[in-house]
Structure 1
Amino acid sequence: MRAPRLPRLPLATLALAGTLLAAPARALVVPLTGWTPVNGNANLWTDPQGACLVREERHDQAFPAFNTLEEARQFALRLQNALGRGGASEVTAQPVDRPGGWGILAAYTHDEGGVLYRISQLYLSDEGRLRTITASSAQYEASPCVNDMRSFVRYVAN
C-alpha cells in the first residue's frame, strides 16, 4: 500500500480562493483514535496504518469571509470549475456552515504518478488569510480511517 499524498494547490486555485472567507482559526486537533502527528508535525496527521493523511496549511493568500450562503455558493462553483481545469476529476464543492461564517468543502480525485487519491479539502479564513485542511487516501482505500477522516473534515474541522 502506498502512503497517501496530498496535492499542492495550483497557484490559479489559490488566487481564486483568495477572492472570498474570516473567523479566527484554532490549532488543528485531529480527534480520531490512534491518529498521530507525522514526525512530530502538528499540521500533518496520519492514522495508525498510514492509509489516511490530514494536513493543515496556512497560506499568505488573502481570503475574506463569506457572510451569506449565496456568497459561499458562488465561490464553491468557481472553485469547482478551477479545480476541474487544474486537472482534478470528479470535483464537487459546497458551502459548509462554520462558527462565524461559511467555509467551502471541495472533494475531488487527484492523479499523482499514476496513483489516484481521493481528496477532501476544506477552505477557511484565518483572519483574512486562506487556511486549508486537506484529507487524502488512495481512491479505493477501504480502511475505517477513510470515513472517519472525511467526517472530521466535513463536520468538525474549523
Structure 2
Amino acid sequence: MGFESAVQMGKYMKARGFDWSDEIDNYAPVGTPVEGDEEPAVDVVAEFSSDSPDMMAANVMPGSVLQRYLPILIWMDRHRDQFVALLNTGTESQAQIPRYTVPGQLTTKSVHMASSLAQLVQDFSREKNVRQRDIFEIALLEFFRRHGYAKEVEALLSL
C-alpha cells in the first residue's frame, strides 16, 4: 500500500482515528466498542422518569407541555458547555482570520465560479490584505473540518 513499514502504516491509521485491536486482529475506530464490550444505548427521555429527583424538584404540573420537555431541558443543561461551544461556532471575531501552514508542493488549480463570487474574493483579499490562495486554503480546510474530514485535516496539518 506504499508504506515503508508497519510502524508508518500504524501512524497513518492513528492519525485517521483508528487503533489496532488485538481482539479483532484489525484496525478499529477509536472509541468503538469491541464485540461484547457494547454499552447499552441511553434513552435521554427515559433517563428521567416522572418520579426522578430532577422531575420532582421541578414541581411541574403532570400532563403539562413543560413536563414532556423537561427531561430534554435537564439533559441539555447538563451538557450546557457543549451547546454553547456549538452555538458559538462561526461567531468568532471577523478580524481574526485563521492561518494554516499546509505542507507539500504547490500546484495550480483552475476553478470556474460566478464572476460575482470571484469579485468578492478579490475585494476581500485586497481589503483584508490576505492572499487569494490563503482564502481558498482556509475555506477548503474549514469546509473539510465541518463536513466529516476533521481527522484528515488534522493529519495533513501535523505532517
Query: Which category of TM-score, normalised to the shorter sequence, fits these structures?
Result: under 0.3
Give the structure with the larger strand fraction. Answer: 1
Give the structure with the larger helix fraction. Answer: 2
Report the TM-score when normalising by structure 1. 0.21
Report the TM-score when normalising by structure 2. 0.21
Which of 1 and 2 has higher RCO (CA within 8 Å, sep 6+)?
A: 1
Who wins on radius of gyration, i.e. which is larger?
2
